[in-house]
Structures are given as structure tokens and as C-alpha cells.
């Protein structure tokens, strides 16, 4: 390998720092650490906290049809734009190369995809929309092949946004399920998520080959069923 190639592959300290900040921000660890250590100010750097929320009157309640669908899609723009902006800043400081070094030993054996997908992998833990957009960018920029994108999207479709999906499964909190029933349900909620919504927001947005779409749909259902059956055996 030439000296120029070695210099290009070398990851600087600021690249590692940028990657660490990205992981802490998108994985929810900033909020977890802030709550655990009593340092509430750390939560201010969490992606969900920084993303904020709209007022109660923007989308409102009781809407139906295409107009409500439009508003639901419209409110996703700030999340995706903010996340892509954070990714661009982190990439500028070398986080993408650092992700390639750090995640290759994990992602290559498990999913057969390069470690450069690490940023999208971490982002997908909190937001399915962000993960799919970053995956599409990786393909368009020539970082991954079409087959690697298909494999990665199949994972995201079945397991994207587990943090958000787990928090959304509040049937137990509302007293509609017993603790045992909720525990059995959670794996299905995490693995399947919003099946139709994620199909549009992940599979289609990422631009995967249409011939694999039915298989991805079936995998989500199968994963959820297996997860719930296994949980039932253990509790």
C-alpha cells in the first residue's frame, strides 16, 4: 500500500471524537448517562431531546385521510434534515473513516456489510427515517454495493428504531396489558415496528431492489413471531 493510501485510511483523533459523539448522541447514551449520573445537562446533547417536538396544535387530533397523512410526513422533515446535518459535520471531521475501522469487525461477519455503514447503523437505533436516508447516500456515493444495501435494509426493516419502538409500547403503562403480556409483546413491537410505515420509510426510501420487497416483508413478520414465542418460553 502506498504512503498516500495509508494517509487516506488513517483516522485522526478528531475523527474518533466525532464518531464517539455521534454514537452517544444517536444511541440515547447521553440521556441514559445523564439520568444515571445525575448530570441532567448531558441529556441536552441527546438526539431526541435536540430534535424537540412540535406544539400540540400543529398536527392536532381527529384528522383523517390524505391531509393527515401529509402532515405526518411533513413533521418528519426537521428530524431527517437535522440528522443529515449532524452526519455531514461528523463526516467532515473523519467519523466515516473511524466508523469503517470500528464497525468492520462487527458488521462484516454479522451482516456482510462494510464498517462504513456504522453511522447509519447507529442512527437507525433511534430513527428509521435517518437510517434509510443515510443508507441510500452510502449507495449513491459508491461506499456499498446494491447487494450490501439490500442486506442492510433488510436488517433495518426488521429492527430499526428499537429505542423509539420500545418507548412507544406503553400498553402496560396504561393498564391494558399485564406485565407478562407486555413482556411477550415487546419483542414483536421492536422487531416488527410499524410494518407498513417502515416499508415506505425504509425499504422504498433506501431504493432497494423491488424483487426483494416481499421477502423483507415476510422476514419482519417471522422475526416478530419468533421473538414473541421465545419470550413466552422464558417467562
Instruction: Give the model's pLDDT for residue 17.
Output: 93
How far apart are alpha carbons 2 and 21 in whole angstroms?
31
213 neighbors 154 (Cβ within 8 angstroms): no
Sole residue written with cell 443515510? 134
Cα 157 to the center of its chain, rounded Å: 10
What DSSP string describes 115-139? GGGHHHHHHTTT-HHHHHHHHHHHH
Instruction: Show me where the domains of the chain are located.
Output: 11-234
How far apart are alpha carbons 138 and 135 in whole angstroms?
5
pLDDT in tens, the chain (235 residues): 444 444 456 888 999 999 999 988 888 888 888 888 888 888 888 887 887 776 666 666 666 667 776 776 677 777 778 888 888 898 889 998 899 899 999 899 988 999 999 988 888 877 777 888 889 989 998 889 999 999 898 888 777 666 655 555 566 677 777 778 777 777 777 666 666 667 777 888 888 888 888 888 888 788 778 888 888 888 7
Please state, in angstroms and as integers, the Cα–Cα distance from residue 18 to each residue in 7, 11, 81, 98, 122, following that order.
19, 11, 19, 9, 13
**Predicted structure pTM score:** 0.70
> In terms of Cα–Cα distance, which of 227, 214, 83, 76 is closest to 157?
214
Give 16's contacts (C-beta < 8 A, 6+ positions apart).
94, 98
111 neighbors 151 (Cβ within 8 angstroms): yes
Handedness of CA 130, 134, 137, 139 (dihedral sign): negative
148: three-class secondary structure by DSSP: helix
Instruction: Give the model's pLDDT for residue 7.
Output: 47
pLDDT tens across 99-115, in order? 989 999 989 998 899 99
Instruction: Give the model's pLDDT for residue 5.
Output: 44
How far apart are alpha carbons 160 and 171 in whole angstroms?
20
How far apart are alpha carbons 215 and 235 in whole angstroms?
30
Instruction: Give the model's pLDDT for residue 59.
Output: 60
How far apart are alpha carbons 215 and 200 in whole angstroms?
15
Amino acid at each position: 500500500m502506498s504512503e498516500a493510501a495509508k494517509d487516506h485510511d488513517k483516522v485522526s483523533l478528531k475523527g474518533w471524537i466525532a464518531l464517539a459523539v455521534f454514537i452517544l448522541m444517536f444511541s440515547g447514551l447521553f440521556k441514559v448517562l445523564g439520568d444515571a449520573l445525575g448530570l441532567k445537562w448531558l441529556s441536552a446533547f441527546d438526539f431526541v431531546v435536540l430534535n424537540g417536538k412540535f406544539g400540540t396544535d400543529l398536527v392536532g387530533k381527529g384528522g383523517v385521510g390524505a391531509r393527515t397523512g401529509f402532515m405526518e410526513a411533513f413533521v418528519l422533515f426537521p428530524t431527517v434534515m437535522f440528522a443529515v446535518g449532524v452526519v455531514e459535520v461528523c463526516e467532515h471531521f473523519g467519523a466515516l473513516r473511524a466508523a469503517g475501522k470500528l464497525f468492520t469487525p462487527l458488521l462484516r461477519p454479522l451482516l456482510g456489510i462494510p464498517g462504513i455503514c456504522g453511522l447509519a447503523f447507529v442512527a437507525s437505533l433511534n430513527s428509521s427515517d435517518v437510517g434509510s436516508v443515510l443508507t441510500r447516500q452510502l449507495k449513491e456515493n459508491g461506499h456499498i454495493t446494491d447487494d450490501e444495501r439490500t442486506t442492510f435494509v433488510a436488517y433495518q426493516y426488521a429492527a430499526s428504531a428499537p429505542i423509539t419502538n420500545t418507548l412507544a409500547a406503553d400498553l402496560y403503562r396504561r393498564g391494558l396489558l399485564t406485565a407478562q403480556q407486555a413482556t411477550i409483546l415487546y419483542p414483536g413491537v421492536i422487531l416488527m415496528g410499524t410494518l407498513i410505515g417502515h416499508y415506505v420509510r425504509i425499504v422504498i426510501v433506501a431504493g432497494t431492489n423491488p424483487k426483494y420487497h416481499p421477502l423483507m416483508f415476510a422476514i419482519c413478520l417471522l422475526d416478530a413471531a419468533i421473538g414473541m414465542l421465545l419470550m413466552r418460553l422464558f417467562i
